[in-house]
Amino acid sequence: MDKLVIADKEFNSRLLVGTGKFASCEIMAEALEKSGTEIVTVALRRVDIENKNDDMLRTIDVKKYLLLPNTSGARDADEAVRLSKLARAATGINWVKLEVTPDPYYLLPDPVETLEAAKILIKEGFVVLPYINADPVLAKKLEDVGTSTVMPLASPIGSNQGLKTREALEIIIEQANVPVVVDAGLGLPSHAADAMEMGADAVLVNTAIATAGEPGRMAAAFKLAVEAGRTAYIAGAAVAGKRASASSPLTGFLRNNKEK
């Protein structure tokens, strides 16, 4: 498959995977393996970033995966920036998945604080991948300040509802000059394939894999779906119509028409 490029780094997989909600680190490790992912996001709140023996961190092979810390739980720009800096100081990783979610229920991203945090972090030398609502103007503003992707949500995080923001995602994809990673709300492999067919550069999946009956098998299904969707996008989809059509009902007569 063609490569995904984020901030000059190349990836063969277009499926990013989150590490929350798994029943054990072993099950998580198996799911990561079967997903074929190369980018794994970890909530800084969940791990002891300074402790190399942290259960979760120990399970993630950093030679195989790019570890992408996220600021999940941050309520404003200050908190997200502080957390990112601590993570960088502890690990040397300067990539961050920026999440600013002041509402603890739907965990919807705060556009104002996210843009503010992105500006500061980019000035501080971070590679910033911001989680946002599917807001095309915000996506352009973030791109303008130098984020390396935009990560609009398909539906509220963990909701498994699929592409509820389709119309706005289409605009974001059309306008973006950075990779668009559809993040949050993808509940089924078909949702992921759908996003990839639309032209998303990648997707991020967590809940749908972690809480599946068999996370490893579901991770493999998402891998196939992402590949299928990407391949279909490149192949150029046939245009869908509402009814079957003869090959040229309006102009067919021209072929037989003996012009006089």
Q: Tell which one of 1, 5, 12, 45 touches other proteins (CB under 8 A).
A: 45
Q: In this complex, which beta carbon is closest to other proteins, that of residue 158 or of residue 189? A: 158
155 binds other proteins (CB under 8 A): no
In terms of residues, how long is the chain?
Answer: 260
- Tell the smallest beta-carbon distance from residue 53 to other proteins (Å): 12
Contact 80, 71 (CB under 8 A): yes
In 3D space, the residue among 39, 40, 111, 102 whose CA is nearest the CA of residue 74 turns out to be: 102
Catalytic residue among 34, 97, 141, 223: 97
Q: In this complex, which beta carbon is closest to other proteins, that of residue 44 or of residue 195? A: 44
Select from 6-14, 71-79, 92-100, 195-203 the region that touches other proteins (CB under 8 A). Answer: 71-79
CA dihedral sign of residues 171, 80, 31, 209: negative
**Which amino acid belongs to residue 164?**
K
Q: Tell which one of 9, 73, 175, 232 touches other proteins (CB under 8 A).
A: 73
Q: How far apart are CA 4 and CA 181, in angstroms?
A: 10
- In the DSSP assignment, the letter for residue 184 is S
Structure token digits, residue 41 = 């996001």
- In the DSSP assignment, the letter for residue 243 is S
232 binds other proteins (CB under 8 A): no
Q: How far apart are CA 70 and CA 86, in angstroms?
A: 12
Q: How far apart are CA 162 and CA 225, in angstroms?
A: 14
Q: Tell which one of 33, 78, 170, 197 touches other proteins (CB under 8 A).
A: 78
Q: Tell which one of 7, 33, 59, 86 touches other proteins (CB under 8 A).
A: 86
Orientation of helix 25-35 relative to helix 215-235, angle to 10°: 20
21 binds other proteins (CB under 8 A): yes
Active site residue 97: yes
Tracing tokens 């990839």 back to the chain, one arrives at: 196
166 binds other proteins (CB under 8 A): no
In 3D space, the residue among 156, 113, 160 whose CA is nearest the CA of residue 133 turns out to be: 156
- Tell the smallest beta-carbon distance from residue 218 to other proteins (Å): 13
Q: Tell which one of 9, 46, 140, 166 touches other proteins (CB under 8 A).
A: 46
Helix (H), strand (E) at residue 130: strand 127-132
Structure token digits, residue 124 = 């501080």
Q: Tell which one of 66, 102, 133, 168 touches other proteins (CB under 8 A).
A: 102
164 binds other proteins (CB under 8 A): no
Tracing tokens 């590679």 back to the chain, one arrives at: 127
Select from 1-9, 130-138, 156-164, 230-238 the region that touches other proteins (CB under 8 A). Answer: 156-164
Q: Tell which one of 24, 52, 61, 252 touches other proteins (CB under 8 A).
A: 24
Q: Rule CB under 8 A: which residues touch other proteins?
A: 20-25, 44-48, 73-75, 78-79, 82-83, 86, 102-105, 158-160, 207, 210-211
Active site residues: 97
